[in-house]
């Protein structure tokens, strides 16, 4: 919930739409009397409440600088899928981005020793299937 001053809190929650794979922010004035929410983009129901992201101490610039340092990649063995999975988890942690289900599955399969090139061919390179955040700045009710 967002604190608006004078003790008032503005209950803004984020929901993900499985239909269009987008995340939207909703103002929920009375959670006890909340009506069923519909996706503002595709009209779908079945939105899932998600944990909102929050600010971190480090700036984006400092996180990117850290990842540009060659020491960030120490321990990476390009021939070891487990090593690649560790790097992927490390990068997600450093950027503060939560891995979606597909990315977690890729990491788990790499940690089990599966061939990265076969995984890429099977799952589709660059097609994460992940949710995209609504960037309109609209607060839905």
Query: Among 24-33, 75-84, 85-94, 128-137, where is mean pLDDT lowest?
Result: 128-137
- Letter string b/e over residues 62-94, b meaning 16 or more CB atoms within 10 A of that residue's CB: eeeeeeeeeeeeeeeeeeebebbbbbbbeebee
The H or E element that residue 83 is part of is: helix 81-95
pLDDT in tens, 41-65: 999 988 888 876 655 566 777 777 8
The CA-based dihedral angle spanning residues 21, 45, 40, 126, taken in that order and rounded to the nearest 10 degrees:
10
**Pair of tokens at residue 38:** 């519909």
How many other C-beta atoms can be found within 10 angstroms of the C-beta atom of residue 139?
11
pLDDT in tens, 90-137: 888 877 778 888 888 889 999 999 998 888 777 655 443 456 677 777
């Amino acid at each position: 919930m967002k604190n608006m001053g004078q003790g008032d809190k503005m209950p803004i929650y984020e929901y993900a739409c499985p239909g269009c794979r987008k995340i939207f922010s909703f103002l929920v004035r009375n959670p006890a009397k909340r009506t069923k929410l519909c996706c503002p983009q595709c009209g779908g129901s079945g939105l899932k409440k998600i944990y909102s992201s929050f600010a971190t101490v480090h700036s984006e610039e400092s996180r990117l600088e850290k990842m540009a340092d060659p020491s960030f990649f120490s321990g990476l063995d390009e021939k070891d899928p487990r090593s690649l999975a560790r790097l992927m988890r490390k990068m997600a942690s450093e950027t503060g981005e939560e891995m979606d289900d597909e990315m977690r599955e890729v990491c788990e399969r790499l940690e089990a020793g599966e061939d990265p090139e076969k995984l890429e061919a099977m799952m589709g390179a660059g097609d994460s299937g992940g949710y995209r955040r609504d960037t309109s700045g609209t607060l839905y009710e």
